[in-house]
Structure 1
């Protein structure tokens, strides 16, 4: 298995860390470690005592264990398992229970004896919990302790459900869940208000007794907390830092979750490196912001004092480096996102020709276009380009039930006022109210309700695109099938989504494609939509001549921006354009004030968008470049 840049505890890392290219590769490594323990115990006629975790992180580990069982004869007859935790209260047959999770993802597919499966009981009476927790601990002890404990990590730094404030010697017990933990679980429960406030969890002390501890983390969402857990000071506020005290622990990460560790994020501080153009640009931008000096004022002393002496020796003097990076950043800035006609474009991010380009903005949800790149969208239309927008999904998941009732009431009243037969609408209105009155958390809407919610989002998207300046002929609603299919099954084919996207691209034949590049959640709609679009473009490149002149630009969402050193096109916005962008976002009324899935950020989407673009402009200013009201940023993606 390929392991990337493994350094046994650098001067920044306080635990052993192994980094693998992707979650699948890393999961196979963990599964093999578990399988080796099981087989060794079998050879000695002993039981293997496993500490197991739930959540998205270990799913591929369990899938590999199932494969080893079915294809390579790995038996679980001698395996005894103890799960880390369970929500409280929780019925074992509930969809969100960890009993259901473990059965679905492992136990139903292997030959483990059910009597050997131990999961905290979420149905206990309150006065019986303490005794059950003590019995759980004692059973582990009587069996000789855990041979291995696998862990994930929550964004609060919790391991198991040991939330901030947990003691290093804590045992199995009832805990109160952190608000962030409950927010992260809200999708599974149909809203945070439905997530239990408590859980039963093994303690940190229990975990420490395992002979081997593996903490796994995947994706950029975990990068920040991983950095704190690996490089930070031991603190009860981040329980995962307690693992620094163990001699038996290893963190197994993918490249994304490891991306903020110093050896990857700021490698010049961790080791002697080979300076590439990308690293030079990143380091100079970092140095300027770190010591709060514009790039053109950085000195050799500044470089030498921050791990960059070799750079100055090889590529200096410092001022030459400063000038080069300053110019590179300056050349990213353009007020002509479609290219400026009749000028030398050798130092510009976009081509001058053709002067009038055909551009298409792919929007995963019906509002990502105006939220994420609304100013650029407006600029392209104002500058006379043939601009199209493609709304990839209908977005019906993110509409409140109350809005359905409100629109049906309007339709019923309108029909009556106009003397139109409103009986069907009245029936639909009555049925919808009855459904909503008995609707359970996470219950999938009926087909007709999904259609109404989709129409609500469609009307808002049309209003927003028209406000930007697009004719109706240039507004495309793909309503890709995967979006509704995934409500019923995670195992779906994307072939018809790809074919539909290819057909639209062939119809438009764009010179520019803009797409959402927010990949923090690998299972999110943005990532799926990008994968579909990328595959469509990849296939078309092999057959269609127009793709040779087609560039793909990626934008980020409302939550965060590309790092400055990665930006390849920075489009500055005037105060008037920022205001016009805000009005375009306002057309999405169902997402205003409080959207169904707001994420961690309590700000409204328009506020997030304005803050993000103004922060990008401020960073350019701090680096010594022009001071703009706002900047929207893009990177170019090869396909």
Structure 2
């Protein structure tokens, strides 16, 4: 194996990418294709796989594919299924080997990768039943070593892998080759890194239930594949994508071993690419168009790099940090500094709904109408208060007609013991007062019975999901009551895509979009607030945003939509980069405390929730730290000092 010579590689889907690969050659050590979204990227990869299958079929040979699980390849598999159904793509000549499986694991378990592959691909195509292979999670421990050796031998008997599909873990793993895995590692049983266990906690119903071990194909066998494609979607993958692509080859980031492969590529979306040099500081890679957004991005980056307020930057700072081209356009640092300082200053407002009777030419929101109709879309029943609780409160206090739309029930984020406590309370209450409601008693009794005997592999029953949904709904009502929102302005949309009972959701459907459209059409808002948090590791925020965007696109010809502005907030996982922020709403210490108490209304989400992620802090702590850090950045750049700030980016129809 040897390092790539990038200039020698040709890519049939290069034309679909947003950026020229050669631009980043001095920083990127592996070919990296960036697409506008995961849909386009997945289609390109699926078509490459289909091309291999057809080519091998024409040669009278088998196509041997290495497959991955998780959220990243799902759209690739969906496109392959479509091609099979609509274009006659046959899998009769295909043999597959999956990367990994939890251990121990029964094949029919909800968390099993056997079940995942059947549901996502195998049951929908014509692959012969004996042609797909996965590690066996049911074997006794003493037989695993022999199985792993034979697994690799089977691959060799087929002539090796023609194509290997990969994802990347948040700690940089490929397969379940965790940090520390060596480049010559073989198929084996691995103890899972804590980060990996935390990421899987949602699938298992809590960290304590997650399998601590897994069988994984080794790095060496992956590296022996003739072609390797690694997929990555979303901001939460961006840091390790950058480490793998631009950093040195290291066992700390097993995905970095792909730099040594002669025919490997990363295929990623713009969110996963956000930490690459060509995205973060594109002026360091090539000439750029110095528009307002790029100037703001460059000067803020410069100020934070040299640790100076914007107005103190000098000509030497620009020249010594790769911004001589920008300086040449303006002549003096002073002129650029003033312009960027004004950009930042004009983004700050204590009037998120617009300030009446004020000059709004340099304000982020319009002054009129003075009293606006507002819809705050909240993907889960707590995103409104966690992500924009201060702005939420201020919009109400300043007299706007605020509606809140909870897009999903959020039921899978309620712990089983919380639901059991709730169910037993209702049963005991009804028995104490001899309530004559047989149906209600049946629902709660059946739910309590199921929860007491629930197995880790079981999906919640409809009765349990109903109870968990009621818990989240009650907490959301309590928050709105705390803020002062009228009962009739609280909307529970219960979008159908969410109601699968598992972390894996259905694709967005027409009914989901229609529900959002109907609410927008009913309220006819001047402002819409929506979650633009693409770092959400479980994807619900992205689907909810897609539904809003599709709804708005269908409604954009309505007259009221001409005066509707859409503001995007971030969630519990990450904040907007400061150069992107178009509206920053400052908060006093008292407002920060009031927001905290609003978050506390969501008691089921306070301690030990299934989707806490790798961050041990509770949601209120994350929110306060994020808002505080935003204020500190503004202050560091030379703006006034505030206790905290909530940030928004405007999405234009």
Tell me the TM-score range normalised by the shorter chain.
over 0.9
User: Residue 550 of structure 2 aligns with which residue?
Assistant: 535
The answer on whether the counterparts of 2:198 and 2:614 sit within 8 Å (CA) in structure 1 is: yes
In 1, Cα distance between the equivalents of 2:306 and 2:479?
A: 42
Taking structure 2 as the reference length, what is the TM-score of the superposition?
Answer: 0.91
User: Residue 183 of structure 1 aligns with which residue?
Assistant: 198
Deviation at 1:299, TM superposition (A): 0.9
1:325-336 alignment, distance < 5 Å: 325-336=340-351
Deviation at 1:16, TM superposition (A): 1.7
Match of 2:127 among 109, 112, 115: 112
In 2, Cα distance between the equivalents of 1:488 and 1:574?
A: 37
User: Residue 240 of structure 1 aligns with which residue?
Assistant: 255
The answer on whether the counterparts of 1:22 and 1:255 sit within 8 Å (CA) in structure 2 is: yes
Q: Are residue 597 (structure 1) and residue 581 (structure 2) matched?
A: no
User: Residue 34 of structure 1 aligns with which residue?
Assistant: 49
Q: Are residue 6 (structure 1) and residue 20 (structure 2) matched?
A: yes
1:244-393 alignment, distance < 5 Å: 244-393=259-408
The answer on whether the counterparts of 1:296 and 1:319 sit within 8 Å (CA) in structure 2 is: yes
Q: Are residue 580 (structure 1) and residue 594 (structure 2) matched?
A: yes
Q: Are residue 217 (structure 1) and residue 232 (structure 2) matched?
A: yes
In 2, Cα distance between the equivalents of 1:143 and 1:498?
A: 46
Match of 1:560 among 561, 569, 574: 574
User: Residue 627 of structure 1 aligns with which residue?
Assistant: 641
User: Residue 174 of structure 2 aligns with which residue?
Assistant: 159
Residues 126, 4 of structure 1: CA spacing in aligned structure 2 closer, same or farther, 3 A cutoff?
same
Deviation at 1:489, TM superposition (A): 8.8
Q: Are residue 514 (structure 1) and residue 514 (structure 2) matched?
A: no
User: Residue 23 of structure 1 aligns with which residue?
Assistant: 38
Residues 409, 336 of structure 1: CA spacing in aligned structure 2 closer, same or farther, 3 A cutoff?
same
User: Residue 10 of structure 2 aligns with which residue?
Assistant: none
Residues 508, 616 of structure 1: CA spacing in aligned structure 2 closer, same or farther, 3 A cutoff?
same
The answer on whether the counterparts of 2:379 and 2:540 sit within 8 Å (CA) in structure 1 is: yes
Residues 468, 305 of structure 1: CA spacing in aligned structure 2 closer, same or farther, 3 A cutoff?
same
- Per the alignment, in what secondary structure is the counterpart of residue 564 of structure 1? coil
Deviation at 1:111, TM superposition (A): 3.8
Q: Would you say how many aligned residue pairs link Structure 1 and Structure 2?
A: 638
The answer on whether the counterparts of 1:412 and 1:426 sit within 8 Å (CA) in structure 2 is: yes
Residues 528, 234 of structure 1: CA spacing in aligned structure 2 closer, same or farther, 3 A cutoff?
same
The answer on whether the counterparts of 1:216 and 1:251 sit within 8 Å (CA) in structure 2 is: yes
Deviation at 1:287, TM superposition (A): 0.8
Deviation at 1:285, TM superposition (A): 0.7
In 2, Cα distance between the equivalents of 1:125 and 1:414?
A: 48
The answer on whether the counterparts of 2:28 and 2:245 sit within 8 Å (CA) in structure 1 is: yes
1:417-428 alignment, distance < 5 Å: none
Q: Deviations over 1:181-230 (max 9, x none)?
A: 22222333333333322122221112222222222222323211110100
Match of 1:174 among 189, 200, 215: 189
User: Residue 102 of structure 1 aligns with which residue?
Assistant: 117
Unaligned runs of 5+ in 1: none
1:452-471 alignment, distance < 5 Å: 452-471=467-486
Query: Once superposed, what is the RMSD of the aligned Cα atoms?
Result: 2.6
Match of 2:541 among 523, 526, 533: 526
Residues 586, 345 of structure 1: CA spacing in aligned structure 2 closer, same or farther, 3 A cutoff?
same
Residues 68, 542 of structure 1: CA spacing in aligned structure 2 closer, same or farther, 3 A cutoff?
closer
Q: Deviations over 1:114-140 (max 9, x none)?
A: 433332222222122212222222333
In 1, Cα distance between the equivalents of 2:119 and 2:494?
A: 30
- Per the alignment, in what secondary structure is the counterpart of residue 108 of structure 1? helix
Greater alpha carbon shift after TM alignment, 621-630 vs 85-94: 85-94
Match of 1:503 among 504, 510, 518: 518
User: Residue 413 of structure 2 aligns with which residue?
Assistant: 398
The answer on whether the counterparts of 2:104 and 2:213 sit within 8 Å (CA) in structure 1 is: yes
Q: Deviations over 1:341-371 (max 9, x none)?
A: 1111101111112222222322222221111
Residues 533, 409 of structure 1: CA spacing in aligned structure 2 closer, same or farther, 3 A cutoff?
same
Greater alpha carbon shift after TM alignment, 179-188 vs 305-314: 179-188
Residues 411, 539 of structure 1: CA spacing in aligned structure 2 closer, same or farther, 3 A cutoff?
same
